């Protein structure tokens, strides 16, 4: 039994979009044809998501009524804490190794980053200042209390696979609302947002319009979209899914998993061993073993309560805002999967905030290695068998159902 399918996860996901695009486009056209020509065939949808007549509008609505105070107060902090040193260079290549056995002692990645002591001191000072400011007078995240929903990001080439993922979500019987965050207006497509996605219980939100509420502008790149979608979402509790990641079973129950309700954030593991630089520990004050003793994170899906982990998300936003040139490199050193994936666990660890990482390793679906889609495990079943659980159920150790599938292959 799986929770998600991400051609590479508990969710099933897929990474090489260009490779899958022709097949996905054909499938999408077939789905759209069925959508418009077989209007009476709505059995696969929950009642709330039947087909309907929709009038196109010239621009999407924002997610919820907001006084706009969050971003104007947070953007200056991000800008003031910007790194004041040159981006690091690498002295070599990081290894790529799978973490087959969590109990085994693996060779650790040597530090490859070339920085002077003054560079490290400067980064450390900026980091400490940012944390002190967000703790002394934290910008208040805005959301509708007691709400749950799914958040994703996508646009352009991701729309076809996102449409498939949304249909797979609704086939599970899920009625969770969905917010689709687009980087800018160029990614907005009226037909997709106002007809196809809308009838699947999803709406599009343009991030650039929300960020424009501050005079300080940030240009969002690919990996940065996720954290800002989490910050600006109207939901208090969020299941984030990549565009090519969908649950195998109805995901509503994930919000009720005991360990999530206790800790407020749940992550899923990746294949690889950590290749983080020791400089990250020096800059943030983390124990030298904090990252290397943990599984790396596969962030195609994550579950978070914004009320309980507001400071985690703010610090993760700092790491992602300066990720491409600084923090992604510090956390991965050019290793496998470099991007936003380690920033969420790193932020929680730095702030000493509790969270849970699913212990069961991801599994390839339909083959071996990093290319096939990925299955990730059901967190409820994983927690029942976890060594961290004081009420551990030994009967669950023999088999763990999957939760999601990630369709994008991994390198």
End-to-end CA distance of the chain: 26
C-alpha span between 245 and 152 (Å, rounded):
9
Using an 8 Å Cβ cutoff, are 182 and 49 in contact? no
Torsion of Cα atoms, 242 then 248 then 251 then 257, to 10°: -100
Please write down the HEC assignment for all residues of the chain: CCCEEEEEECCEECCCHHHHHHHHHHHHHHHHHHHHHCCCCCCCCCHHHCCCCCCCCCCCCCCCCCCCCHHHHHHHHHHHCCCCCCCCEECCCCCCCECCCCCCCCCCCCCCEECCHHHHHHHHHHHHHHHHHHHHCCCCCCCEEEEEEEEEECCHHHHHHHHHHHHHHHHCCCCCCEEEEECCHHHCCHHHHHHHCHHHCEEEEEHHHHHCCCCCCCCCCCCHHHHHHHHHCCEEEEEEECCCEEECCCHHHHHHCHHHHHHCEEECECCECCCCCHHHHHHHCCCCCCCCCCCCECCCEEEEECCCCHHHHHHHHHHHHCHHHHHHHHHHCCCCCCCHHHHHHHHHHHCCCCCEECCCCCEECCCCCCCCCEEEECHHHHHHHCCCCCCCCHHHCCCCCEEEEEECCCC
Beta bridge partners of 305: 237
Q: Are strands 374-377 and 363-364 parallel, antiparallel or unpaired?
A: antiparallel
| Predicted structure pTM score | 0.83
- Residue 65's pLDDT is 45
The pair of structure tokens assigned to 216 is: 């300080």
- Residue 52's pLDDT is 32
Least Cα distance to 257 among 321, 219, 304, 295 occurs for: 304
- Residue 22's pLDDT is 35
C-alpha span between 411 and 389 (Å, rounded):
33
- Residue 75's pLDDT is 95
Domains of the chain: 17-99+113-364 (3.90.550)
- Residue 344's pLDDT is 97
Instruction: Please list the rounded mean pLDDT of every run of 10 residues in the chain (411 residues).
Output: 47 42 40 38 32 33 56 94 95 76 70 93 97 94 97 90 95 97 93 95 95 85 91 98 92 96 96 92 94 90 97 98 95 88 97 95 73 86 88 59 57 47
C-alpha span between 297 and 410 (Å, rounded):
13
């Amino acid at each position: 039994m799986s929770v998600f399918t991400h051609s590479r996860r508990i969710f099933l996901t897929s990474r090489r979009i260009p490779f899958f695009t022709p097949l996905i486009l054909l499938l999408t056209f077939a789905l759209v044809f069925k959508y418009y020509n077989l209007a009476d065939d709505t059995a696969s949808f929950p009642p709330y998501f039947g087909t309907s007549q929709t009038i196109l509008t010239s621009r999407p609505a924002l997610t919820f009524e907001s006084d706009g105070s969050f971003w104007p107060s947070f953007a200056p902090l991000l800008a003031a804490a910007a790194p004041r040193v040159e981006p690091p260079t690498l002295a070599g290549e990081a290894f790529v190794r799978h973490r087959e056995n969590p109990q085994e002692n693996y060779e650790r990645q040597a530090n490859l980053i070339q920085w002077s002591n003054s560079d490290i001191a400067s980064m450390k000072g900026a980091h400490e200042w940012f944390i002190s400011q967000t703790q002394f007078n934290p910008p208040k995240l805005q959301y509708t209390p007691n709400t749950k929903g799914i958040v994703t990001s996508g646009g352009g080439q991701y729309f076809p696979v996102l449409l498939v993922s949304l249909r797979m979500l609704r086939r599970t019987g899920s009625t969770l609302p969905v917010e689709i965050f687009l980087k800018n207006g160029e990614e907005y497509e009226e037909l997709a947002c106002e007809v196809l996605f809308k009838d699947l219980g999803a709406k599009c939100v343009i991030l650039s319009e929300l960020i424009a509420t501050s005079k300080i502008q940030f240009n969002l790149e690919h990996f940065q979209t996720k954290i800002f979608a989490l910050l600006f979402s109207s939901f208090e509790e969020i299941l984030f899914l990549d565009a090519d990641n969908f649950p195998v079973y109805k995901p509503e129950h994930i919000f009720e998993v005991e360990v999530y309700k206790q800790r407020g954030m749940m992550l899923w593991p990746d294949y690889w061993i950590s290749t983080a630089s020791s400089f990250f520990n020096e800059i943030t004050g983390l124990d030298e073993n904090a990252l290397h003793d943990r599984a790396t994170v596969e962030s195609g899906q994550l579950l978070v309560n914004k009320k309980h982990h507001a400071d985690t998300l703010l610090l993760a936003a700092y790491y992602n805002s300066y990720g491409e040139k600084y923090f992604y490199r510090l956390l991965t050193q050019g290793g496998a999967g470099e991007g936003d994936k380690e920033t969420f666990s790193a932020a929680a660890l730095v702030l000493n905030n509790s969270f849970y990482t699913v212990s069961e390793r991801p599994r390839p679906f339909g083959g071996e290695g990093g290319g096939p889609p990925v299955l990730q495990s059901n967190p409820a079943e994983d927690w029942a068998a976890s060594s961290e659980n004081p009420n551990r159920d030994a009967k669950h150790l023999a088999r763990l159902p999957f939760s999601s599938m990630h369709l994008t292959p991994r390198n």
